[in-house]
Amino acid sequence: MTRWLSRYPSYLLSAVIAVLALAPIAVLYYLAKGAEVYFSEETWRILKNTLLLTATTVVGSIVIGVPLAFLTAYCKLPLQRLWVIALATPLAMPSYLGAFTFYAAFGKGGELEKLIGLTLPRMEGLAGATVVMTLYSYPFVFLTTRAALRGLDGNIVNAARTLGLSLPGSLWRVVLPRVRNGIAAGSLLVALYTLSDFGTPAIMQLDTFTRAIFVEYNAFGLDRAALFSLQLIFLVVVVLVAEFCFRSVRENSGHCLSLQPSRAGVAFSLIPVAGIVALAIGLPLLIFGIWLKREGAGDFDQIIAWNSLKVSLIAAGVAVIVALPVAYAATIGKVGRFLERIVYLGYGVPGIVMGTALVYLGLRAEAEIYKASEENPEVTQFLEKWGLEEPFLYQTLALLVIAYVLRFLPLAVGTIRATLEKIDGNMVHAARTLGAGRSEVFLRVTMPLAMRGIVAGAALVFLETMRELPATLLLRPNEYETLTTEIWLVYEAGYFGRAAIPGLLLVLFSAIGLAIMLAGERRAEKLLLHQEES
Amino acid sequence: MPFNPTRRHFLRSAIGAAGGCMSGLPLMGLGQDAAQKLAGVSVEDLPRLKGKLTLYLGRGEGGLYERVIDAVKKRNPDLRLSIRRGPTAALANTIVAEAKMGLVRADVFWAVDSGAIGLVAGTGKARKLPDTITSQVDERFRYDNWVPISGRIRTIPFHTGKLKAADVPKTLSEIADSDLTIGWAPAYGAFQSFVSAMRILRGDEATKKWLIATKKRAKSYAGELGAVMGVARGEVDIAFANHYYTLRLKAGDPDAKVDLAFTNNDAGCLLNASGAMTLRGGELAQNFVRYLLSREAQSFLASEAYEIPMLPSVTMPKGLPDLADIHPPKVDLAQLADLAPTLRLMRSTGVL
């Protein structure tokens, strides 16, 4: 046993991390036991809303994503790459920003009415949430479908046409069935994203699980919040399993189909693209711009931006360090791959669920330490010596970082593992032959070669942390407002204008993150393909 | 009784004091000594604050409380203030959860709603406040372990383009039976206290019926300012909200199509209070509370936040009708702490 562990220290580390990843679920189970009723009329209402929103969003994403994927995969268009990037950008924007600005823009007395004098229907409830969720999650379907289309051999279409099918006919009857898996994989990502989003249903006032958990948590129903969390996790697991089943089918690739649309065709196809990008990206920017002009920068405290940056940097750093052994373990054996799967659960746990569980864990740990230090002066001395005053864990940056790491670790693990797998094993063997020990090889050969993946993983975690809302709301230390909590505060208080600066900053950071990730790869497409895998 | 050992009705006293202000004779009926005492203490005469203090601050006041706190910080550069901001109800729940674990993390809790105060007082963690603090407010406002900082009244803001004040029903029952569209913020602590008051006054069954009937035409907002803004925009005809949201909105935009109406002698015009309590921090925490009761802070809250001052010597906010013309229900605010059945009721009706 000990020999096994010493050979595979990364297994041990991964196992510890995997257990930590499972801890929130165990906590929720413990908390939910106190709930009075397991299923009530309310549960069904929430379940119905959640499933309805997920279904409408998936359908909406397919309706938008699939035709656009066909268009950009097969038609020769001017500025091709720009189109693809533009259509993928909504993914880089947190959907609650969209929800917030849509909520303020539409409807009677909304910003759009003030601007153009036309009263548009209000964005709220199921319809509003569907529009917003679709606009910010269709890129999942767009990207997976496009990748599947690009991977197909174009000759099958030519063959079908030779046999007498029209072009649309052959696309429909020959190509579409072959990319079904791609569409399904994207749809499942959309479903996962919709299930775990908190801000959009909350702002659109649609009672889904995430919103119900937040309301319960704040209204003294920790047990009910935990119960709802477990029910939500169950849905997430179902989707995760489905996603896993839909993943691995690959076609033989060949020459990609290439069509030359007419000028009119290009112009015509530009309309939906421009419309979607204008709605998803342009409208929020416009609204923030209006607010900025009307209210000015106000008394925006720069510390808020700095807080966001700081905690995201720390989370990214910690996540990468923790991800390394897990990713390494996953490349060397079955046990490692199994442990990696468990860690992946974290990404499925919605932020609000993670927050609810960790608040309790932190409070509990804090109470134990407090008790121990009351009984033993040594404990107090020890804590003081290390500068660990009260708040020890609860309401500290540490707990917030733990939540982020547990949640976004899979992003880092995924990218790092991908680069580790690409490393030529001969390099490692050569180094070993030349007399380097295991750890030396890891530090001097493997690590530098994996650096690209490490940086990419860190960037992804950084971005996601920067945008995370519900767990941040529940876990942030006193006085620690971030861009996202500031936007939430402004929304709750009804002083919408003050969201301009934090909102724009968040968009800016997302854009910079996206640009860095694009620049990091030789070709934009590579990145896009990559995102689909993670 | 969890937190009101004197069992006095806050309500009666509040009307007494506030009504007195409006009539221009704030200190009417009090002796000379008492009058001097009730003139309030100036920050100039308060001890300097020095040390570490954790404040749990119930928000929803759009940054106005922050400005009071900023002023306190400015005067006391040696004060290391750590603030946890959040909805009052959420913070009260946090304190209760902490107390259950045997932890006390807040030195001072400044809540915007006395229901939340009562909830926290129920944990037994609230410290007794010295007489020198409680005696600053009128004799009838005095509680053992908390002190009211400002008063607020539940109101019915209405859209002036669609309705006249006379069109707004005078009771909650009539509102439920009307065909008016309604804005409300069920997650807001003051709204929950309002429902608690209705439960106390009319019983659970009637409250449940009222919630179900009203919900059909109600639109939920995240906060009460949002609900009032919804009225001004014409999204809904009327709303349920504390008085100052409308006054503040109108202060910023005098043409806003919203005005205040009041129900008569039911929970719709409940008189509630924000208040402060200390849970730790000894004299420093108490002295911090003194700042909140200072003449300057009280004047600011009345003139800028449109809240009803607790020091009778401070002028009432502008824009509020004569309080003598308003008929709040007789509710012991202490009972508003009994939030759990209210939340159960709101959940079972799908309001929350």
In the predicted structure, residue A197 carries a pLDDT above the cut 70? yes
Q: Please report residues of A whose CB lies closer than 8 A to that of B62.
A: 493-495
Which residues, at least 6 apart from A241, have a Cβ–Cβ distance to it below 8 Å?
none
CA distances from A432 to A113, A425, B24 (A): 70, 11, 93
Q: Using the beta-carbon criterion (under 8 Å), do A493 and B225 form an inter-chain contact?
A: yes
Kindly give the parts of chain B with pLDDT less than 50: 1-32
pLDDT for residue A427: 82
Q: Please report residues of B whose CB lies closer than 8 A to that of A200.
A: none
- Burial code (b: 16+ CB inside 10 Å, e: under 16) for B5-14 equals eeebbbbebb
Q: Please report residues of B whose CB lies closer than 8 A to that of A220.
A: 89, 93, 96, 339-340, 343
Indicate the pLDDT class of residue A98, thresholds 50, 70 and 90: very high
Q: Rounded CA gap, B352 and B340, in Å?
A: 13
Tell me the Ramachandran region of residue A153: left when phi exceeds 0, alpha when psi lies from -120 to 50, beta otherwise.
Answer: beta
Q: Please report residues of A whose CB lies closer than 8 A to that of B220.
A: 205
Q: Using the beta-carbon criterion (under 8 Å), do B225 and A489 form an inter-chain contact?
A: no
CA atoms within 13 A on the CB side of A232: 37
Which residues, at least 6 apart from A268, have a Cβ–Cβ distance to it below 8 Å?
none
Task: Considering only CA atoms, give the Rg of chain B.
Answer: 19
Q: What is the dihedral of CA B324, B329, B331, B336, to 10 degrees?
A: -110
pLDDT for residue A518: 64
Q: Which of A29-43, A117-131, A321-335, B270-284 has the lowest mean pLDDT?
A: A29-43
pLDDT tens digits, A336-377: 888 888 888 787 888 988 888 898 888 888 888 878 877 887
Give the A-side interface with B, CB within 8 Å. 42, 45, 107-109, 122, 202-203, 205, 215, 217-222, 363-364, 366-367, 370-371, 390-391, 394-395, 478-479, 481, 489, 491-495
Residue of A42, A215, A299, A478 to mutate, testing the B interface (most B Cβ within 10 Å of its Cβ):
A478
Q: Please report residues of B whose CB lies closer than 8 A to that of A369.
A: none
Indicate the pLDDT class of residue A5, thresholds 50, 70 and 90: low
B70 in contact with A, Cβ within 8 Å: no
Residue of A218, A370, A480 to mutate, testing the B interface (most B Cβ within 10 Å of its Cβ):
A218
Look-up: residue for tokens 């929803």? B60
Q: For residue A467, give how far its alpha carbon lies from the nearest alpha carbon of chain B (Å).
A: 19
Of residues A215, A219, A363, nearest to B98 (C-beta)? A363
Q: Please report residues of B whose CB lies closer than 8 A to that of A202.
A: 222
Q: Please report residues of B whose CB lies closer than 8 A to that of A217.
A: 90, 93
A31 C-beta neighbours (distance < 10 Å), count: 20
> pTM of the predicted model, to two decimals?
0.81
pLDDT for residue A252: 62
Which CB contacts under 8 angstroms, 24+ apart, belong to B80-83? B80/B51, B80/B52, B80/B53, B81/B53, B81/B54, B81/B55, B82/A478, B82/A479, B82/B52, B82/B53, B82/B54, B82/B55, B83/A478, B83/A479, B83/B54, B83/B55, B83/B56, B83/B57
Minimum CA–CA partner of B343 in chain A: A219
Of residues A122, A218, A367, nearest to B89 (C-beta)? A218
Q: Using the beta-carbon criterion (under 8 Å), do A220 and B85 form an inter-chain contact?
A: no
B1 in contact with A, Cβ within 8 Å: no
Indicate the pLDDT class of residue A36, thresholds 50, 70 and 90: low
More confident residue, A4 or B256: B256
Minimum CA–CA partner of B98 in chain A: A363
Instruction: Provide the mean pLDDT of chain A.
Output: 84
- The DSSP line for A212-276 is HHHHHHHTT-HHHHHHHHHHHHHHHHHHHHHHHHTS---PPP-SPP-B---HHHHHHHHHHHHHH
Amino acid type, B188: Y
Feature table: binding site of B:
244-245
A295-307: average pLDDT: 83
pLDDT tens digits, A394-451: 888 999 999 999 999 988 998 888 888 888 778 888 888 888 887 888 788 888 888 8
* B 190-219 → A contacts, CB under 8 A: 192
Pairing of strands B241-242, B147-159: antiparallel
Q: Using the beta-carbon criterion (under 8 Å), do A219 and B93 form an inter-chain contact?
A: yes
Q: CA quadruple A71, A73, A76, A79: dihedral positive or negative?
A: positive
3-state secondary structure of B111: strand
Look-up: residue for tokens 């189970």? A29
Q: Please report residues of B whose CB lies closer than 8 A to that of A48.
A: none
Indicate the pLDDT class of residue A161, thresholds 50, 70 and 90: confident
* B 138-157 → A contacts, CB under 8 A: none
Q: Using the beta-carbon criterion (under 8 Å), do A367 and B220 form an inter-chain contact?
A: no
Q: Rounded CA gap, A147 and A52, in Å?
A: 28
In the predicted structure, residue A316 carries a pLDDT above the cut 80? yes
pLDDT for residue A524: 42
Amino acid type, A456: A
Q: Please report residues of B whose CB lies closer than 8 A to that of A205.
A: 220
- Burial code (b: 16+ CB inside 10 Å, e: under 16) for B246-277 equals bbbbbbeeeebbbbbbbbeebbbbbbbbbbbb
Residue of A492, A496, A498 to mutate, testing the B interface (most B Cβ within 10 Å of its Cβ):
A492
Q: For residue A110, give how far its alpha carbon lies from the nearest alpha carbon of chain B (Å).
A: 8
pLDDT for residue B23: 33
CA A269 to chain centre: 29
Q: Using the beta-carbon criterion (under 8 Å), do A364 and B101 form an inter-chain contact?
A: yes
Q: Rounded CA gap, B20 and B24, in Å?
A: 7
A320-327: average pLDDT: 90
